[in-house]
Structure 1
């Protein structure tokens, strides 16, 4: 019973994050940023890594300053690494589906970091994260989301002059950043 209540609470947080993301996508970037920051304060820096990863990932997109965006994207990656560490250390129920879901976060996280570094004029750091995004993209599904992330990786590779020698191959049509 307690486990079920914990799952419902976790689902409630992710639902709240999703609602704010809808607000952001509808064009109210400032209000979305404020609400996500309120959620961040509520969850805390030691809160559930999945919640922190998700929040930081979306918070980054609400910032105009590339340095602020980078800081939030780095927080998202750090939380994802904690999530991966917790799962691999045997904390929580981490079945094969959950492990794959965690691995599927990395391509978009590294892609976002690469894009941040491009905005900041740090091409080598951008290339490093872009290569990490490409290597991690094998965890993506063969679906719209996976196709979109792979397409965004390919576009940034072209922009940075990467030769795609990592074996990523050709991907679908360009799409907005995930």
Structure 2
């Protein structure tokens, strides 16, 4: 049996704080983790942490910075490292959500060209997701983004 990953446990704790309405506490926890991991630390940790940190930003420009960090880190994760982190299958399952978040934040910032690009990239990657609750959530999010962009 493998040892629990303490960084992932802390990220999970931050996500729980965020979901329970304690966004500022989650933000502080994530910031402290980022300081300890660093911009060149384990790409898996950086991706998951940056993806989570983006969700607790009040300023969409800061959210974009974190979403871009998550995407950059995802590009460096091997499938083997993803499996070690508990991901079933390939690191490719990260991309639909990453592109959905980027498309949405670009839309809110008024950059519709980048928003449409990330929508297309998210839709191209969505086949990597299984048809479970999470996969359906991401598909609905991409559909909602497509609708928002069609009326923009």
Q: If the length of structure 1 is used for normalisation, what is the TM-score?
A: 0.78
Partner in structure 1 of residue 47 of structure 2: 53
Please tell me whether the aligned partners of residues 14 and 30 of structure 2 are also in contact (alpha carbons under 8 angstroms): yes
Deviation track 1:120-139 (CA, whole Å, cap 9, x = no partner) reads 00011100000000000000
Greater relative contact order structure (CA < 8 Å, 6+ sep): 2
Aligned partner of 1:131 in structure 2 is 120
Match of 2:23 in 1: 29
Q: What is the CA-CA distance between 1:15 and the residue it aligns to?
A: 1.2
Structure 1 residue 94, shift from structure 2 partner: 6.3
Q: How many residues align?
A: 150
| 2:138 corresponds to | 149
Following TM superposition, the consecutive aligned residue runs of length 4 or more in structure 1 with deviations greater than 2 angstroms are 91-95, 97-101
1:83-94 equivalences in 2 (<5 Å)? 83=77, 87=78
Aligned-residue Cα RMSD (Å) equals: 2.2
User: SS in structure 1 opposite 2:97?
Assistant: helix
- In 2 relative to 1, CA 102–26 (structure 1 residues): closer, same or farther, beyond 3 Å? same
Cα distance per residue 1:72-131 (max 9 Å; x no partner): 000000000011xxx27xx76969x95834100000000000001011000111000000
1:19 is aligned, of 2, 10, 13, to: 13
Distance 1:101 1:54, change over 3 A: same
Residues 67 and 102 in structure 2, CA contact (< 8 A), matched pair in contact too: yes
Choose 1 or 2 for highest CA Rg: 1
